Amino acid sequence: MLMLGALFNQSVSKRLDSLSAITPLQCLCVHVWGMQGTYLVPFEDTVQNKQFQCESCVELLFVRGAGNCHECDTLLRKSNFRVQLFEDPAIDKEVEIRKKVLKIYNKREDDFPSLNEYNDFLEEIEEIVYNLTNNVDLENTKRKMELYQKDNKEVIQKNKIKLTREQEELEEALEIERQESERRRLLIQKEEQIQQILKRKNKQALLDDLEKSSLPASLLLAQHKDRSTQLEMQVEKPSQVRPVTFSTGIKMGQAISLAPVPKLEEALYTYQPLQVETYGPQVPELGMLGRLGYLTHVRAASPQDVAGGYTSSLACSRALQDAFSGLFWHPN
What digits encode the pLDDT tens for the residues 93-113? 888 899 999 999 988 888 888
Q: Which pLDDT belongs to residue 18? A: 41
**Helix axes 138-151 and 115-133, enclosed angle (nearest 10):** 140
Q: For residue 75, give the H/E element and its range.
A: strand 75-77
- Residues 161-176: tens digit of each pLDDT: 888 888 888 888 889 9
Report percent pLDDT > 90 for the chain. 15
Considering the domain boundaries, does residue 31 fall inside one?
A: yes
Q: Let me know how many helices (H) and strands (E) the chain has, helices first.
A: 10, 7
Residue 137, C-beta contacts closer than 8 angstroms, at least 6 positions apart:
131
Q: Are residues 174 and 214 in the same domain?
A: yes
Helices (H), 105-216: 115-133, 138-151, 153-212
Q: Are residues 184 and 232 in the same domain?
A: yes
Give the chain's end-to-end CA distance (angstroms, integer).
98
The Cα–Cα gap between 123 and 196 comes to: 64
Least confident of 100-109, 144-153, 220-229: 220-229
Q: Which pLDDT belongs to residue 2? A: 42
Burial 35-58 (b: 16+ CB within 10 A, else e): eeeeeebeeeebbbbebbbbbebb
Q: Which pLDDT belongs to residue 171? A: 87
Q: Which pLDDT belongs to residue 263? A: 65
CB atoms within 10 A of CB 129: 19
For the question of whether the overall pTM of this predicted structure is more than 0.85, the answer is: no
The stretch 127-141 carries a mean pLDDT of: 91
Q: Are residues 52 and 95 in the same domain?
A: no
- Residues 58-70: tens digit of each pLDDT: 666 666 677 776 6
Q: Are residues 147 and 166 in the same domain?
A: no
The stretch 109-125 carries a mean pLDDT of: 90
- How many structural domains compose the chain? 3
104 by DSSP, 3-state: which? helix
The stretch 275-299 carries a mean pLDDT of: 87
Domain boundary among 25, 57, 84: 84
**Cα angle 275-280-282, degrees, rounded to a multiple of 5:** 60
Considering the domain boundaries, does residue 229 fall inside one?
A: yes
Domain boundary among 109, 134, 151: 151
Q: Are residues 164 and 201 in the same domain?
A: yes
Domain boundary among 180, 213, 237: 237
Burial 179-199 (b: 16+ CB within 10 A, else e): eeeeeeeeeeeeeeeeeeeee
Where does the pLDDT of residue 54 fall: very low under 50, low under 70, confident under 90, or very high at 90 and above? low
Considering the domain boundaries, does residue 59 fall inside one?
A: yes
CA distances from 227 to 147, 198, 223, 233 (A): 81, 11, 6, 10
Does pLDDT of 151 surpass 50? yes
- The residues pairing with 75 across neighbouring beta strands, listed in sequence order, are 68
Domain range for 178: 160-237
CA-derived radius of gyration, the chain: 41
Considering the domain boundaries, does residue 320 fall inside one?
A: no
Where does the pLDDT of residue 127 fall: very low under 50, low under 70, confident under 90, or very high at 90 and above? very high
Closest CA to 110 of 125, 121, 126: 121
